[in-house]
Amino acid sequence: MKEQFPFHSALVTGASSGLGAALCRELVAQGCTVWGTSRDSARIDIKGVIPISVDLAHAEPITDFVREMQLELGQIDLLINNAGYGVFGNLEDNAPEDIHDQVELMLTAPALLTQAVLPGMKARKDGCIANISSLAARFPLPGMCLYNASKSGLSAFSRCLADELREYGISVMDVQPGDFRSGFMEATHNTGNGDAAWLAMEKHMAKAPDADQIAREIIKAIAKRRKGTISVGSFFQAKLAPFAQYILPGFVTRFFQRIYMSRAGHPSLGAWL
């Protein structure tokens, strides 16, 4: 007999494509009422998902959305902070608006949305907050300073929040996917610098698991009410590298970065690290 999914309603950000869309499909299959956000709700074309338009990269729309969400959406058992995008290139080539938008989207928005759902979860002494960070929080690569920093901040936010909510029965997950195939590379703004690191990412993405597989792993972890840091993806990235880093953190971080870059097949990639 199939075990019943523990949550009945979910809010997923960044739901129009990639991992967000895959998570929505999995949640609908579990019988959840699902709300999905996108800057353009018309792009959310998933049966059973209630689309919501909101630009989470700017404070004023976030604040308005949080206020409306508290009044209109009702009980939210599961919040998945998934929305994000990358800007690739040397830091000095990042436009000020890109720096601002990445931090707002991947750090400020999750904090504000979490703040909005917490009163209800605390009152029920139940709920789950899954923050989609990245393995880049542990193994940052050149060319994505703000992405790496924002994801690292989100991971730290999750760990601190888990301690704050320990007595309330609320699961907080710091989900750190490795590489997976989605529209991430196409959506990433590439400034044209750091070509070696970009090549490494493209090579790894082409061989990586797809977004549907990653979504299934995440939903399985949510169903088991797992807490803490959850690594998902290929065996090397999601299991072997984090385990080795736990034993020898400094050495393994640099070693993993070198291996990641050199496996792209470019003889000069190792010189980056």
Phi/psi at 222 (5° precision)? -65, -45
Side-chain half-sphere of 36: how many Cα atoms within 13 Å? Answer: 30
Residue 257, both tokens: 């970065």
Nearest residue to 88 via CA among 199, 5, 173, 14: 199
Q: Does 268 participate in catalysis according to the annotation?
A: no
The DSSP code for 164 is H
Catalytic residue among 17, 134, 182, 234: 134
Catalytic residue among 151, 155, 171, 234: 151
How many C-beta atoms lie closer than 10 Å to residue 75's C-beta? 13
Residue 120, both tokens: 């209800």
Catalytic residue among 16, 17, 133, 158: 133
Handedness of CA 169, 83, 30, 212 (dihedral sign): negative
Catalytic residue among 16, 17, 38, 147: 147
Q: Which residue has the tokens 């991430």?
A: 184
Residues 187, 168: Cα–Cα separation, whole Å: 38
Q: Does 152 participate in catalysis according to the annotation?
A: no
Q: Does 151 participate in catalysis according to the annotation?
A: yes
Q: Does 53 participate in catalysis according to the annotation?
A: no
Residues 192, 268: Cα–Cα separation, whole Å: 17
| Cβ proximity of 128 and 171 under 8 Å | yes
Q: Catalytic residue numbers? A: 133-134, 147, 151
